[in-house]
Structure 1
Amino acid sequence: MNLVDLRIFACVARHPSLGAAAQELHLTPSAVSKALRRLEGDLDTVLFDRSAKQLVLNASGQRMLDFSKSMLTLADQAKADIMGNRAVIECKVAAPAILLWRHAPVLMRAMQAYPDASLSMQTMFEDEALAALLRGEVNHAIVTSEVIEGRGAHWSSDWQVTSLGDMHLQLVAGKRHRLAISLSSGLTAASANELTRAALPQPALRASSSQILAYDFVSPSRSLFCGEQRGSRSDGWRDDQLPRKIRYWIDDLQLLLSTVKSGQALAYLPEFALADAELLRIEVSDCAFHCHEQVWLVSNAKNAPHWQHALAEFMSATSKDTA
C-alpha cells in the first residue's frame, strides 16, 4: 500500500465516475483503475461495487476511506512541518464570493511566507463550503455566524473556528447617482480642502429616509452568503421599517456593483465595498437599524500542519488590526 494509490482512491471515492476522477488527477482512466486494483490487492478486499457506468463504495471501501483520509493528512502534516516555509503547499479556501472579496488580500499576504505555495479560492455558498471542508477538498471555509450557530449536517467536532471580525453593511451609491451628486454639492469648499490636506477619505453623505426612498434600489434575490432565496430580505435591509422600491434584482455580485457604480440604483453593501473610489457611503439620519455579520474561518484542526494554524492566527490578528 502506498500514498499515491491512497490519494487516487480518495479522489475516486468522491467522484461519480472513474473518468471524472481521472480528469482531476490528470491520469488516464486505465492508470486510475490499475491503482485501485493494486490497492484492493494489497488489502485483499474489494472496495467498490462496480457497474458499467460508476463505482460505488461498499462497506469496506467506506472504512478504508476514513483510514486513508487520516493517513494522507498525517503524511501531509509531516512533510509540511519538516520542510517549514520550503514546503510546497496547496492552500484551498472555500467561501461565498462576497467573503472572498473581503478576505482575499489577507489570504494572499498570509501565504507569502511560503514561496512555493499556491492559493486556490473557490466560490461556494456557506453550506457548500462546509461540505467541501468535511470531504477534505479544502483546508478552510469562511462563513458567517448564522452557519456557525446552526452547526447542521456539515459540521465536525474536529473543526476549530477563528474570528475574522464583524462586517458592517452600509447604504452605498455610485458617484454618478443623482442623490450622491446632490448631497456632495452640499459640502463646502473649505470642508473639501480640509479633507484633502489631511489625506482623509470622503465622509459619509447624510440624507433622510424620505430622500433615499425616492430612488430605485438594486438587491440580490438570494442571500450572498448562504444562497437562500429571501427576496427583499436578502441584503439585510429592513424593508419592514423603511420599504424601498427594488427595481433591479441581481444575484451576480459584479453585475450588481456595476449597476451601483453606473448611478442606476442604491444598494446595501458591506463596508469594504467603499474601498472602490467610485462608491460613496450614505448615512441615513433617521434610520433606526444597523445590519452586521460576524465572520469566521473554519479549519480542520485535527492533524493540521503548522502552516494552517499560522494562517488562522495571521488572519485573526490582521482582522483585529483593521477593525
Structure 2
Amino acid sequence: MDIDDLRKIIHVAKTQNLQHSAKALFTSAGALSKIVKKTEKSLNTQLFDRIGRNIKLNEQGRIFVLHAANLVHDSDQLLSHFAAKQTRHSMQISGPSIIQDYWLERILPSAVCEQFYIHVDNCYEGEALTKVKHGLAQLGFVTGEALHNVENSEVQRIHLARVHFALAISDQHADYAELVGDLTLEQFARLAFACPKNSAFCGLQRGVGSDGWRDDQLPRNIQFRFNDLHPLLAMVKRGVAAAYLPEYVIQHEGLNALGSGQFQQEMTRPFEDIYLIWKPTLAPGWLNALLEKITANLAASQ
C-alpha cells in the first residue's frame, strides 16, 4: 500500500464509482478494482460493499479513508517542504466558464503557471464546490450564492470581486448610435435579446432568461436562447442581439453597456460576489504558498 494507491482509493470513496474515478485518474476501472482488493486483503478488512456492479463505502471504509486522507496530506506537506523549487505540481481548478474564462489569468499570471500542470475543469459552481470539498479539485470558482450555509471549516475563500450586471450591445448593432444614451422603455421593447437557457453560474433555470433580469416584471423580446455562453457572446458581438451580462464580461469582450434608465435599476439583480475557494484541511504546502501569492497579487492590483 503506497501513497499513490491511497489517493486512488480516496477518489473511489468519493465517487463510489470505479468508472468515474478511472476516467478522472486516467486509468482503468479494472486497475482501480485491483488496488481496492489488494488493500482490503492487506488489511483483512472489507472497505466497500458490493451491490451488483456498484460499490458503496462501508463504516470500516469511512474510518480508513479518514486516516488515508491524513497520510496523503502529510506526505504532500513533506514533499512540498523538501522538494526542489523546480518541482511542478499538478493542480485542478474547477468552476463555471463564465468565471474561469475571465478570472483564471488574473489569479495565475504566466510566472505562476510555469510552476504547475494546470487542469481546467469547466463545470457549474455546485459541482465545483463538491469537488473542492472532496479533494477532487484544489481550487474552485463560485459565487456567493453557492456558499450559503457553507462553513469556513469546509472551505475557505478569497473574495475576488463584486460584479454588477448591465444590458450590453456591440457597436456593430444597427441601432448602436441611438441606444448608447439613456435607454427608454420604447427602445427597450424593440431590442432583440439573446439569453441563456440556464444560469451560466449554477446551471439552473432562474426565470425566463436565467440571467437575472426580471422578465416577470418587464418582459424582453427574447429571440435567441443558448445553452452555452460562447455562441451567445458571438451573436451579441455580431450586433444581432443584446444581452444582460456581468460588467467584467462586457468589458473583456469589447461590448458596450447601455445607458441605465430608471427602469433598469428596478429590474436587475444588485450584484454577484465571485470567490476563489479551497479546502484548508487538504491543502498541501505548495498550495498554501500559491494562495499567499494570489492574495498578494490581488491586493497589489487593487
User: What TM-score does the superposition give when structure 1 sets the normalisation length?
Assistant: 0.81
CA displacement at 1:259 relative to structure 2: 1.3
Q: 1:207 aligned to 2:159?
A: no
**What corresponds to 2:35 in structure 1?**
35
Find the aligned partners of 1:320 and 1:280 in 2 and give their Cα distance: 28
Find the aligned partners of 1:108 and 1:127 in 2 and give their Cα distance: 23
Cα deviation 1:188-214 (Å, max 9, x = unaligned): xxxxxxxxxxxxxxxxx3232222332
Equivalent residues of 1:85, 1:114 under 8 A apart: no
Find the aligned partners of 2:96 and 2:253 in 1 and give their Cα distance: 23
**What corresponds to 2:131 in structure 1?**
132
Find the aligned partners of 1:161 and 1:28 in 2 and give their Cα distance: 34
Find the aligned partners of 1:55 and 1:90 in 2 and give their Cα distance: 28
CA displacement at 1:89 relative to structure 2: 1.0
CA displacement at 1:300 relative to structure 2: 0.8
| Aligned residue identity for 2:148 | E
Find the aligned partners of 1:39 and 1:234 in 2 and give their Cα distance: 47
Deviates more, 1:253-262 or 1:6-15: 6-15
Q: Secondary structure at the match of 1:288?
A: helix
CA distance 1:209–1:316, change in 2 (3 Å): farther
Q: Secondary structure at the match of 1:231?
A: coil
Find the aligned partners of 2:37 and 2:72 in 1 and give their Cα distance: 19
Cα deviation 1:141-172 (Å, max 9, x = unaligned): 11111222343xxx672421111111121221
Cα deviation 1:223-275 (Å, max 9, x = unaligned): 11111112336212233554321222212101111111121111011122234
Find the aligned partners of 1:32 and 1:242 in 2 and give their Cα distance: 54
Q: Secondary structure at the match of 1:86?
A: coil
| Aligned residue identity for 1:259 | M
Equivalent residues of 1:162, 1:312 under 8 A apart: no
Task: Determine which structure has more spread, i.e. the larger CA radius of gyration.
Answer: 1
Q: 1:304 aligned to 2:280?
A: no
User: Among residues 283, 297, 301, which one is paired with 2:259 in the alignment?
Assistant: 283
Q: Secondary structure at the match of 2:205?
A: coil
CA displacement at 1:114 relative to structure 2: 6.0
| Aligned residue identity for 2:159 | S
Find the aligned partners of 1:26 and 1:150 in 2 and give their Cα distance: 34
CA distance 1:135–1:319, change in 2 (3 Å): same
Equivalent residues of 1:174, 1:180 under 8 A apart: yes
Which sections of structure 2, spanning at least 5 residues, go unmatched? Answer: none
Equivalent residues of 1:140, 1:297 under 8 A apart: yes
CA distance 1:24–1:285, change in 2 (3 Å): closer
Pairs within 5 Å for 1:155-170: 157-170=153-166
CA distance 1:243–1:15, change in 2 (3 Å): closer
CA distance 1:299–1:148, change in 2 (3 Å): same
Cα deviation 1:81-135 (Å, max 9, x = unaligned): 33263232111111111111121212431x7336341111211111111111122
Find the aligned partners of 1:170 and 1:268 in 2 and give their Cα distance: 6
Q: 1:179 aligned to 2:179?
A: no
Find the aligned partners of 1:76 and 1:230 in 2 and give their Cα distance: 41
RMSD of aligned residue pairs (Cα, Å): 2.7
CA displacement at 1:15 relative to structure 2: 4.3
CA distance 1:309–1:261, change in 2 (3 Å): same
CA distance 1:149–1:119, change in 2 (3 Å): same
The percentage of aligned residue pairs carrying the same residue is 29
**What corresponds to 2:231 in structure 1?**
255
Equivalent residues of 1:9, 1:36 under 8 A apart: yes
Q: How many residues align structurally? A: 298
| Aligned residue identity for 1:119 | I
Pairs within 5 Å for 1:1-323: 1-27=1-27, 31-50=31-50, 53-83=53-83, 85-109=85-109, 112-113=111-112, 115-151=114-150, 157-183=153-179, 205-210=180-185, 211-232=187-208, 234-239=210-215, 242-276=218-252, 279-286=255-262, 287-289=264-266, 291-319=270-298
CA distance 1:66–1:225, change in 2 (3 Å): same
| Aligned residue identity for 1:13 | A
**What corresponds to 1:188 in structure 2?**
none
Equivalent residues of 1:95, 1:129 under 8 A apart: yes
**What corresponds to 1:190 in structure 2?**
none
CA distance 1:315–1:282, change in 2 (3 Å): farther
CA distance 1:213–1:315, change in 2 (3 Å): farther
Equivalent residues of 1:206, 1:285 under 8 A apart: no
| Aligned residue identity for 2:176 | A
